[in-house]
A and B are shown apart, each in its own frame.
Chain A
């Protein structure tokens, strides 16, 4: 077992060696620009790109013609949201999304808000899911787009996208789904979910950073305004020389994910449950954030009451995880996702997110359980809050000296 141990797969994943092998020729001999139509360097690059396009499309049940390459999911989210909003500006200026969406979605929506669009941000219930009925109720005659992610990056919560897709289809409103954390991990099919646009990212599924895709439905045809002008690449949807090696890697990653998804999901789920039960057995006052039932198999987001997240991460150095604590954010705000789920700021500060994946082993999980249990106990011995609680003080009734 090697240290440091990586358990932050929602932040990024290592490139699978098989993916790297597929990419290397496109850095070396096959360095052609896929848009070079007049020579074999270009033709071979284009062939590789189209081959990959088919592989990515196959993973999500789409046709290759419906896929546009981008620099990543953030760009895909921007293209989907701003592109649709701008194209349909005469038809309507209302957008709907959910409080727990990724910043790439929320900030794109806010940018449009500043330009005159109206945005409804729907709340979630305690387990982190949005109520499809709330989506339906929010749709107005001037609504052009609904954006709801498939699975959340912080808590792994899976949204009811099939119900939402049925609602948006019936209402004639476009449905964008950020499928970054779900594609390749749990089944995601654009026909079954009735999505019109979907964002994908390579580096969340053992592919390279810097490449993603946007699925844009052709039947019925979705129109949008390009955000990157300059040469008309990708049928005018997204200009710019294609990242051929990245795209080849992305295609390979999708091919592997499709083939290995089911077995891998079962293995990772078992490891996640091993981690969860190990922590709950070794400690009291531990809560899991978000629904256990509707959750990505590799995600475990827990709060260790009376211990602050960043201090715990420092204590378990040699294990890479992340936290919803304010101390870990540049803005000093605790996780907005946990807050939207009704989880108190104090528990948000005490949260740790584990993201298990393809390369996580049982040995690593057992090591982490032992380490986390020991360090939480140590930090609780140093915690004035834990001391007060053990003395019988009701913390909710304490008047804190300087809530700064």
Chain B
């Protein structure tokens, strides 16, 4: 199985390998896949107050196509709003990388990773929004 040039490029020159602070309030982390399956992707996004993805990082345990798929989506999400990021389809990833049928599932996992990261960020925002009210109750006299 010969690799497509694009897949090789993403492996040789991966974009955005690394980690963001998962405890930061503006960071969403998605961890998808399972070691037993041979595919685990961690995708992190840093989102501005306006809901625009300013930065993204990934780490992947998986084959060349999995690495390329996750690398590609970190490129794509930068500058998008979270709503736009949720629209990214695995078929776009597969097409861009010329993935053969047996590797399509790598692009599916990359799509899942974005969704998981966005969902995590959204959950943090909801928790933040809920907190001030509670503080008012617990601190009488303010």
A315 at the interface (CB under 8 A from B): yes
Stretch at the interface among B38-46, B72-80, B83-91, B134-142: B38-46
> Are B63's CB and A311's CB within 8 A?
yes
A392 at the interface (CB under 8 A from B): no
Question: Can you list, as one digit per residue, whether each of A335-370 has a CB less than 8 Å from chain B (1) or not (0)?
Answer: 000000000111001000000000000000000000
Question: Can you list, as one digit per residue, whether each of B16-44 has a CB less than 8 Å from chain A (1) or not (0)?
Answer: 01010000000000111111111111100
CB neighbours (8 Å) of B34 from chain A are 400-404
Q: Which parts of B93-120 form the interface with A (CB within 8 Å)?
A: 102, 105, 108-109, 112, 116
A381 at the interface (CB under 8 A from B): yes
CA distance A395 to B116 in the complex (A): 19
CB neighbours (8 Å) of A315 from chain B are 11
Whole-angstrom distance from the CB of A290 to the nearest CB of chain B?
20
CA distance A20 to B62 in the complex (A): 41
Q: Which parts of A364-399 form the interface with B (CB within 8 Å)?
A: 381-387, 395
B8 at the interface (CB under 8 A from A): yes
Total of A-B residue pairs, C-beta within 8 Å: 101
CA distance A328 to B100 in the complex (A): 13
Interface of B is mostly: mixed
CB neighbours (8 Å) of B59 from chain A are 382-384, 387
Q: State the interface size on chain A (CB cutoff 8 A).
A: 32
CB neighbours (8 Å) of B8 from chain A are 314
> Are A345's CB and B36's CB within 8 A?
yes
A314-B17 contact in complex given A326-B37, A400-B34, A401-B116, C-beta closer than 8 Å: no
Question: Can you list, as one digit per residue, whether each of A284-320 has a CB less than 8 Å from chain B (1) or not (0)?
Answer: 0000000000000000000000111111001100000
CB neighbours (8 Å) of B102 from chain A are 330, 332
CB neighbours (8 Å) of B51 from chain A are none
Contact check: which of A327, A345, A381 meets B35 at CB < 8 Å? Answer: A345
Q: State the interface size on chain B (CB cutoff 8 A).
A: 34
Contact check: which of B31, B37, B60 meets A383 at CB < 8 Å? Answer: B60
CB neighbours (8 Å) of B42 from chain A are 384, 387
- 7 nearest CB pairs, A to B: A349-B38, A384-B42, A346-B35, A400-B34, A327-B63, A310-B63, A403-B34
Beyond contacts A311-B62, A334-B38: 15 other A-B pairs, Cβ-Cβ < 8 A, are A306-B61, A308-B63, A325-B63, A326-B37, A344-B36, A345-B37, A349-B38, A381-B17, A382-B59, A383-B60, A384-B61, A387-B19, A400-B36, A403-B34, A403-B37
Q: Give me the interface of B with A, judged by CB distance under 8 Å.
A: 3, 8, 11, 14, 17, 19, 30-42, 59-67, 102, 105, 108-109, 112, 116
30 A-B residue pairs with Cβ-Cβ distance under 8 Å, sorted by A, are A308-B62, A308-B66, A309-B63, A311-B11, A311-B62, A314-B8, A314-B63, A325-B63, A327-B66, A328-B63, A330-B102, A332-B102, A344-B36, A345-B36, A345-B38, A349-B35, A382-B67, A384-B31, A384-B40, A384-B59, A384-B61, A385-B40, A385-B61, A400-B36, A400-B40, A401-B32, A401-B33, A401-B34, A403-B36, A404-B108
Q: Give me the interface of A with B, judged by CB distance under 8 Å.
A: 306-311, 314-315, 325-328, 330, 332, 334, 344-346, 349, 381-387, 395, 400-404
